[in-house]
Structure 1
Amino acid sequence: MCGRLNITDSLGVRALCEQLEIDLWPATNMRFGRFIRATDTVSIVFEHGGKRLMQEATWWLLLDAQRQNGTTVFKPSRYTSFNTRYDKLDRPGSAGYASFRQQRCVIPITGFGETVHRDGKNFYYDISAQDGMALGGLYRIWRSVSPDGTVTEQFSCSVVTLPPHPKMATLHPKSCPLMLSVQDGSVSQWLSCHATHTGQLKPLLQPAIRQRLCAQQIDKPSTYQPVGDFFWLDAD
C-alpha cells in the first residue's frame, strides 16, 4: 500500500463516523485532507472502557523521543512504520506485536492511493468508496513527563497491510490494506477490547473488498487530475 490517504469532509465519511458511534460535529475536530502522507496526522477510532473514541495520531507507528526547547517531543523514527505487514503481527519483538493484541484502531477515510511501477514509469491510482471506508490499523501511546509532573500523551498509528487482492492486481500487485466494514461486523470485531486472542482476528487478515470501490488513474497525487475513465471494483 502506498503512503497516502484521502480523507475529505463528505456525507459518506460523516455517515461512517456516525456508524462508528463517533459524533464529529461539533464535538470532535477530525483531520481532513485530500493528500495525506505518511508522518502526517490522521484521526483514528479505538475502543476504551466500552466506548469508542476518536484521537489524532501520527501516521507512523514508531516514534523517537527528542528534547526540544527543554521538553520531550516524539518524532517519526528512522524505521519505516506507516504500514504493518500482516505476517509480522505474530512475530515477538516486531513493532506491531503488542498493539495487535491490545491497541487496534480503524482510520475512517474516503479512499487511498496506490502507485504502480511499469516500464520505468510510475502510474498513480486513487481508490475510493462513496460511503467512506474504514482501514484496520494499530496504535501506540507515547508519554512524556514535564518537570512539573504534567503528563503529555501522543498517539501514533499504522495501517495493517495484507497480501494482494486479485481484483487489485493491476493497481498494487504487492499488498492491499486491511479494509473493514460496519455492515458485516468486521469493524466491531477488530475494535473489540475482548478480542485478545489473535486466533479470533485471523479471519480478518485475508484480503477482502467489503464494499464497492471506484478506481481512477490520476496524473499525480499533488494535482489529482483524472486520466481516462474510472472503473469499479465490486465487493467480494
Structure 2
Amino acid sequence: MCGGYALAEPTEVLEDVFNVDLVGENLPGPSWNIRPTNQVPIVVDTVDAAGDQRRRLESARWSLIPSWVKGEPPKFSTFNARSEDAALKASWRDAVKSKRCVVPASGYYEWVIEDGVKVPHYIHADETLAFAGLYSWWRAAETDPWMLTATILTMSTVPELADIHDRNPVPLPKDSWATWLDPKEVGTQQLVDLAVAQARPVAAGLSEYRVNPLKGNSPELISPA
C-alpha cells in the first residue's frame, strides 16, 4: 500500500514532465510528507465541448469519494485501490471506465518493523514517478460545490521490494501514460491489468533506503537515516 509520499517538483516542472495544456487552481506546492486527505496534484485528460482532448494538472483530495456517496465521506480507506479487481468494485468501477489519472510523486514511504519499531523507508527513482490513479467528482449535497478526489492504484509487490511491503503503487512508464489517461478509451479490468504489467519493470528498478521518523515537512525527510 502507499500511505504517504513525497513530491518535490514544483508546478512548473510537472507541467513540462507531463506535457500539460491547462493548469487548474489552488495547486499545492512541493511536499515531503503527503498523507491521505491532503490536496495533491493529479494529471487528467479531458475532452472539451469542441471535442478536443486536453491534458490538465489539477488539485485533488487524496482519498477518492465515489460520486454516488451522499453526506459524509465513507468511513473505509479510499486512498489506495487494489488493482486486481478495481473494475468490479463499486467504489472504483465508474472511474476505471473513463476517469483515470496519474499521480506525480518523487517517491513514497513504507514502514518496516525493525527491532519491534516501525521505521520509515523511502522508495524512489531518479525521475518523477507517475502512479496510476483514479478520480471522481463528489459533493455531499446538491447545494455543495463539487470536489475532485483521487486514489492511487496498488499491485502485488515486485520481488525487489518484497522485504519492504507486500504491495506497492503502480508506477506507469511514460509510453503508457496516453493510453491510461485517454477518456475515450473505455477502461476495463484488462486495461488495469495491462497497466500493472507495464509498471512492474519500473517498480523493479526503484531504490529504497531508511529515513528518519517523518516529522514536519522539509526535504530532510527524504535524506538517508
Please give the range of the TM-score, normalised by the shorter of the 2 chains.
0.7 to 0.9
Find the residue that maps to 1:152 and give its secondary structure: coil
Q: CA deviation at 1:108?
A: 1.0
Unaligned runs of 5+ in 2: 48-52
Unaligned runs of 5+ in 1: 67-74, 228-236
Distance 2:206 2:104 in 1: 15
2:180 is the counterpart of 1:177? no
Q: Which residue does 2:195 correspond to in 1?
A: 204
Instruction: Kindly report the root-mean-square deviation, in angstroms, between the aligned alpha carbons of the 2 structures.
Output: 2.6
Pick from 25, 42, 58 the counterpart of residue 55 of structure 1: 58
Q: Which residue does 1:33 correspond to in 2?
A: 31
Find the residue that maps to 2:185 and give its secondary structure: coil
Structure richer in strand, relative to its length: 1
Q: Deviations over 1:117-175 (max 9, x none)?
A: 345321210112232111110111014543xxxx7210111100001111111221x20
Q: CA deviation at 1:194?
A: 2.7
Q: CA deviation at 1:87?
A: 2.1
Mapped contact 1:60–1:157 kept (Cα < 8 A): yes
Mapped contact 1:109–1:135 kept (Cα < 8 A): yes
Mapped contact 1:84–1:161 kept (Cα < 8 A): yes
Q: Which residue does 1:137 correspond to in 2?
A: 133
Larger Rg belongs to: 1
Aligned residues: 208
2:98 is the counterpart of 1:107? no
2:83 is the counterpart of 1:80? no
For residues 27 and 43 of structure 1, do their structure 2 counterparts lie closer, same or farther at Cα, with a shift above 3 Å needed? Answer: closer
Find the residue that maps to 2:202 and give its secondary structure: coil
Flag the structure with more relative contact order, 1 or 2, with Cα contacts below 8 A and sequence separation at least 6: 2
Q: Which residue does 1:186 correspond to in 2?
A: 176
The normalised TM-score by structure 2 is 0.81
Percent of pairs with identical residues: 24
Structure richer in helix, relative to its length: 2
Q: Which residue does 1:7 correspond to in 2?
A: 7
